[in-house]
Amino acid sequence: MCGIVAYIGSKNCIPLLISGLQRLEYRGYDSSGIACIHKSTISDYKAVGKVKELNSLIEKSSIDESQVGIAHTRWATHGLPSEANAHPHLSTNRKFAVVHNGIIENYKALKSNLEAKGCKFQSETDSEVIAHLIEQLYDGDLVAAVASAVKMLVGAYGLAVIASDEPDKIVAVRNGSPIVIGISENESIIASDLSAIVSHTKQVIFLNDNDIAIVTASNVEIRNQENVPISREIDTVDWDFSAAEKSGYEHFMLKEIFEQPEAVGNAIRGRLDHVNNSALLSGLNMDAQDLVTIKRIIIAACGTSLNAGLIGEYYLEDLAGLVTEVEQAAEFRYRNPLVDAETLCLIISQSGETADSLAALREAKLKGSQVAAICNVVGSTISRESGRGIYLHAGPEIGVASTKAFTCQVSVLLMMALKFARARRYTYTDAAELINEIEKIPEYIDAVLKQSKKIEKIAKRWAHATNWFFIGRGYQYPVALEAALKLKEISYHHAEGYHAAELKHGPIALLDENFPVVALAADIDGKDKTIGNIEECLARKAPVIICATQGDKSLASYTKDLIEIPASSKYIVPITATVAMQLLAYYVAKERGEDIDQPRNLAKSVTVE
């Protein structure tokens, strides 16, 4: 959510900042801007829309070379997307420029104070107060001014600040919004995530909350807010740069859908214990006694990760007999949840930075619960603060609509349930078949991907429909929720996921011949009852698209629009059915010509509440 990139070094920073912004664009793309220092003056350039607009503005202008600059791509929180609201924000005397991710909650009070002191505001943003505050507090020492300014801020922030009088440094601060610093020879790059850094260097420092970094071309010094120097480790990140490229696919989303056999393969690799027919998952750091001591699991997450959590609930209850509840992370954190030392609070987050999920983790820890996390982004805040958990190894997910992270999350949850199950009530023999099935997940996904042309045809036939229901039961109910989320976020069609039994309790009133219902009716428990619900929809003239098990003849008479997934155990169906639904959503959005990787109003990694 919003992207920051900043550069100081021996090269011209402008093209580097533009390419960094392009890599970060998935985090926000309603406007962008750059500020750089040249001959002790700050120049700034801002444009509404994608980074390409900023790039053409810069190409047309006679911009001088600069070796130090900060840049930002925005996802609006305060004020419409406009040039004035785009970052960087400059102070009244134009000697300080700031880029900010996060939200400053007390900005109104600060703003009226600063206005009373004569500061001239140009934007409606909360962020601009930071530039003016620094100007007011500056006494010849940028680091001291920034340190004093952040003490006055309430909220979340990741910041990069430059001052025209101190062109030899960038000051970066982190509090609740990630900042990572890449270190290379004669240059340093600051960014809100690794994607803007890994093409330059794999040596990085992740800032912790309240760290203030003084970054020069040749050095990174970190202090706490009391100005005491602190040391942070330099990490070497294992990130394949090409993973953040489209590699010939039209969209990142399509690439990531097709990457799922490999991504899930990576999530599973080395984690199945064939000697004991269990799962290893060493990052969970739980021995057999820990596994039986846990009395209850609470899964807290948001969006697609929340839907993965719902499937996890079924796995943990079904396989391990463990009481499991799933909570929207924001609700969990404010609801005064009942947890104790025998509760495991499991946070699921692709990015590992989602503000509400992070807050849920902190709340659970504070209340004495055990915690663990399932994250994709290595070194992310949730993964670090949870102290134990399972990485997905899905590779970077760039498409805003989450796809491969979901199937990896579900695969990891299945392995986790297997591990708990083996400790609690599953026999060696019970587990053998499940292990076999888990190993075949990549193959099963592959079989769904082979149906893509057929799914595309169905999507084209129904792309005009502006209202959609998705229905399912049991393991296919959370799939209905995820399928509806996917369709609405990239096609902008109204879509809702329901338990198949729920339609007749109200929603069925909406159905007519223009309102498709997608029924998830693979041949596992609940199929026969879902057929009854399909009949009810057809009786209201609603067109029905059915996702069924390959070779299941019993459903062909209900629809011409049959999507097939391979026959597998019920535990695998939520994965294969979701892949089919991802393709359906993708092709509907493509048929409508929507901006699939950067859907309107959305951004990857939601770091505000």
Task: Using CB under 6 A, pick the residue from 260, 370, 605, 607 that binds ligand F6R.
Answer: 605
User: Does 401 sit near ligand F6R (CB under 6 A)?
Assistant: yes
Window 127-166: residues binding ligand F6R (CB under 6 A): none
Q: How far is the CB of 64 from ligand F6R (least distance, A)?
A: 39
User: Does 192 sit near ligand F6R (CB under 6 A)?
Assistant: no
**Residue closer to ligand F6R, measured from CB, 200 or 604:** 604
Tokens of 213: 């970094």
User: Does 497 sit near ligand F6R (CB under 6 A)?
Assistant: no
**Residue closer to ligand F6R, measured from CB, 268 or 306:** 306
Q: At what angle do helices 573-591 and 452-462 cross, to 10 degrees?
A: 50
DSSP code at position 500 = G
**Residue closer to ligand F6R, measured from CB, 305 or 533:** 305
Task: Using CB under 6 A, pick the residue from 304, 491, 530, 549 that binds ligand F6R.
Answer: 304
Residue 158 CB partners (closer than 8 Å, separation 6+): 4, 100, 101, 102, 172, 173, 174, 175, 176, 177, 178, 179, 192, 607
User: Does 607 sit near ligand F6R (CB under 6 A)?
Assistant: no
Task: Using CB under 6 A, pick the residue from 213, 257, 302, 398 that binds ligand F6R.
Answer: 302
**Residue closer to ligand F6R, measured from CB, 183 or 606:** 606
Minimal CB distance residue for ligand F6R: 303
Tokens of 550: 């390959």
Q: What is the spatial distance between Cα 408 and Cα 261, in angstroms, rounded to a whole number? A: 10
Residues 456-485: x/- map of binding to ligand F6R (CB under 6 A)?
-----------------------------x
List the Cα angle 249/250/256 in 5-degree steps: 55
Task: Using CB under 6 A, pick the residue from 305, 343, 386, 568 that binds ligand F6R.
Answer: 305
User: Does 606 sit near ligand F6R (CB under 6 A)?
Assistant: yes
Q: What is the spatial distance between Cα 186 and Cα 75, in angstroms, rounded to a whole number? A: 32
In this structure, the strands spanning 187-191 and 180-184 are antiparallel
Task: Using CB under 6 A, pick the residue from 489, 523, 564, 597 that binds ligand F6R.
Answer: 489
604 is an active site residue: yes
Task: Using CB under 6 A, pick the residue from 303, 472, 474, 497 that binds ligand F6R.
Answer: 303
Q: How far is the CB of 78 from ligand F6R (least distance, A)?
A: 20
AA identity, residue 438: I
Tell me the Cα Rg of the chain: 25
List, in sequence order, every residue forming a beta bridge with 68; answer none if it has no partner. Answer: 8
AA identity, residue 565: I
Q: What is the spatial distance between Cα 193 and Cα 245, in angstroms, rounded to a whole number? A: 16
Residue 39 CB partners (closer than 8 Å, separation 6+): 64
**Residue closer to ligand F6R, measured from CB, 278 or 354:** 354
What secondary structure does DSSP assign to 269-288, as a single string? TT-EETTTTEE--GGG---H
Window 326-385: residues binding ligand F6R (CB under 6 A): 349-351, 354, 357
CA 593 to chain centroid, in Å, comes to 24
User: Does 177 sit near ligand F6R (CB under 6 A)?
Assistant: no
Three-class SS of residue 6? Answer: strand
User: Does 582 sit near ligand F6R (CB under 6 A)?
Assistant: no
Q: How far is the CB of 376 from ligand F6R (least distance, A)?
A: 8
Catalytic residue numbers read 2, 604
The residue ranges that bind ligand F6R (CB under 6 A) are: 302-305, 349-351, 354, 357, 401-402, 485, 489, 605-606
